[in-house]
């Protein structure tokens, strides 16, 4: 059965009957995820009435958790990069993850677009203004356009794999990979071109977003491989993914270290204050505990030690890596915002208040829960039922 047929044949009654047949752990996942999704949807609808008044943002800190969550979600689309290792670079061992990687990329980019849609406050204007009065000089306009193109190409690649169209797989795979590089670097440029925010301004941000996409892509695929025993992935492949992810985390730490060091000693007091807010200011706990210890050091230790190359530790290490990336986005967004734009005292910098609203938090949790629940459903009732451990091209070579 093709995935489009599976989607159109889903019935509410079947969903409810499937819940009754699930085990205790699966029911718990369904109930918690379902509750968060409903709460997130209610919070999103509330924002259509209250606008940005429901968020912890104002004229001094105009962006908040939803922007950080959007940055996290669009970087998570790096699953496409993992899938491209087979379709573009012909690394045969990665055939085992191509199909699921592309499906996840499609799912995550759609949810990410919904998050930024809600963050706009008056989102329905986008359908008119985006088309009739586009600002082609705006990186935000190009960000939206490039992600739409990206979504088209990864969807086309998934269609080609589903239908065994070998030539189209290669063409769509290359186009999706190029579109991914452009899309991730463009969203990085939204931050990197803001001269008024010295901590963001410069060439680091586009590179950061591409690197984070690779890290999240490998982390998510390892997390899934650790959860689903029927996800037929060879141990040599997972070991290879562990090592690559460890290297990427070390490279990311290297970039973060020098970005902060150059920031602390920058001649611009605003940039220096922003860097200090991460290592010794209001963001320091989030940085040292979640981004460095849990998100980098512990996963690298687990990844590089063969003794921990088990399914249980794979889950722990990849989950910590994903959590670390989430707080990397939160720290990166807020560090650029909580420093006042006006002149500040280098020796005693003052910061705007750092706060998260309940509405924003629930929307983010609902978005994460929607990805988890939708993927879990498709994994069990589509991928496993239709025996899709490999791409079509891979199955022919078995």
Position of tokens 């079947």? 14
What is the DSSP code (8-state) at residue 385?
T
pLDDT reading at 137 higher than 50: yes
**Domain spanning 33-396 has what CATH number?**
1.20.1630.10
Segment 269-280 mean pLDDT = 92
Confidence of residue 220 (pLDDT cuts 50, 70, 90): very high
Q: What is the pLDDT of residue 30?
A: 84
Total length of the chain: 398
Q: What is the pLDDT of residue 317?
A: 95
Segment 24-46 mean pLDDT = 89
Q: What is the pLDDT of residue 287?
A: 96
Distance CA 178, CA 45 (A): 35
Q: Which two tokens stand for residue 394?
A: 């891979």
Distance CA 380, CA 143 (A): 34
Q: What is the pLDDT of residue 384?
A: 72
Distance CA 258, CA 366 (A): 35
Confidence of residue 248 (pLDDT cuts 50, 70, 90): very high
pLDDT reading at 193 higher than 70: yes
Distance CA 118, CA 67 (A): 10
Average pLDDT, the chain: 86
Contact yes or no for 183/74 (Cβ under 8 A): yes
Distance CA 260, CA 273 (A): 10
Distance CA 124, CA 205 (A): 29
310-341 pLDDT, tens digit each = 889 999 999 999 999 999 999 999 999 998 87
Distance CA 16, CA 19 (A): 5
201-215 pLDDT, tens digit each = 988 899 999 999 999
Distance CA 204, CA 201 (A): 8
pLDDT reading at 113 higher than 70: yes
Confidence of residue 396 (pLDDT cuts 50, 70, 90): very low
Q: How far is CA 239 from CA 228, 278, 320, in A?
A: 17, 33, 17
Any alpha helices (H) in the chain, and if so which ranges?
3-8, 12-21, 24-50, 65-76, 79-87, 95-119, 126-132, 139-162, 166-192, 204-227, 235-264, 269-279, 284-285, 298-304, 311-335, 358-378, 392-396
Distance CA 217, CA 101 (A): 8
pLDDT reading at 291 higher than 70: yes
pLDDT reading at 387 higher than 60: no
39-74 pLDDT, tens digit each = 999 999 998 888 888 888 888 888 999 999 999 999
How many C-beta atoms surround the C-beta of residue 34 within 10 A?
A: 14
pLDDT reading at 14 higher than 90: no
User: In 3D, which of 37, 33, 111 has the Cα closest to residue 75?
Assistant: 111
Q: Where are the domains of the chain?
A: 33-396
Q: What is the pLDDT of residue 394?
A: 43
Distance CA 171, CA 156 (A): 10
Q: What is the pLDDT of residue 397?
A: 38
* Longest CA–CA separation in the chain, Å: 66
pLDDT reading at 393 higher than 60: no
Contact yes or no for 202/69 (Cβ under 8 A): no
Q: What is the pLDDT of residue 162?
A: 85
Distance CA 394, CA 387 (A): 13
Q: Looking at 81-90, 142-151, 218-227, 251-260, which range is the least confident one?
A: 81-90
């Amino acid at each position: 059965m093709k995935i489009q047929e599976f989607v159109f044949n889903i019935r509410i009654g079947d969903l409810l009957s499937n819940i009754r047949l699930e085990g205790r752990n699966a029911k718990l996942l369904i109930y918690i995820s379902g509750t968060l999704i409903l709460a997130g949807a209610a919070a999103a609808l509330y924002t259509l009435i209250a606008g940005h008044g429901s968020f912890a943002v104002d004229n001094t800190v105009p962006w908040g958790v939803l922007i950080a969550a959007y940055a996290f979600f669009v970087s998570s689309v790096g699953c496409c990069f993992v899938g491209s290792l087979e379709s573009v670079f012909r690394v045969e061992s990665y055939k085992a993850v191509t199909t699921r990687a592309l499906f996840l990329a499609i799912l995550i980019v759609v949810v990410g677009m919904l998050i930024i849609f809600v963050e706009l406050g008056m989102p329905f204007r986008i359908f008119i203004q985006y088309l009739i009065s586009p600002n082609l000089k705006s990186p935000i306009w190009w960000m939206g356009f490039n992600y739409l193109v990206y979504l088209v190409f990864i969807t086309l690649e998934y269609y080609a794999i589903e239908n065994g169209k070998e030539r189209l797989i290669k063409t769509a795979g290359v186009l999706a990979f190029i579109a991914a590089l452009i899309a991730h670097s463009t969203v990085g440029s939204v931050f990197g071109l803001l001269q008024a925010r010295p901590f963001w301004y410069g060439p680091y941000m586009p590179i950061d977003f591409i690197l984070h996409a690779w890290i999240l892509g490998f982390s998510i695929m390892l997390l899934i491989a650790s959860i689903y025993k029927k996800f037929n992935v060879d141990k040599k492949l997972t070991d290879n993914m562990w090592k690559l992810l460890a290297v990427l985390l070390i490279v990311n730490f290297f970039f973060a270290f020098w970005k902060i060091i150059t920031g602390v000693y920058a001649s611009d007091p605003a940039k220096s204050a922003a860097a200090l807010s991460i290592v010794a200011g209001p963001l320091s706990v989030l940085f040292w505990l979640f981004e460095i210890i849990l998100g980098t050091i512990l996963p690298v230790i687990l990844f590089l030690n063969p003794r921990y190359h088990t399914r249980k530790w794979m889950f722990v290490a990849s989950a910590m890596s994903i959590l670390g990336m989430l707080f990397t986005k939160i720290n990166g967004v807020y560090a650029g915002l909580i420093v006042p734009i006006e002149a500040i005292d280098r020796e005693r910098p003052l910061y705007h208040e750092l706060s998260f609203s309940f509405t924003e938090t629930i929307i983010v949790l609902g978005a994460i829960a929607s990805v988890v629940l939708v993927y879990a459903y498709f994994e069990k009732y589509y991928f496993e039922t239709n025996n899709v451990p490999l791409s079509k091209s891979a199955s022919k070579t078995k």
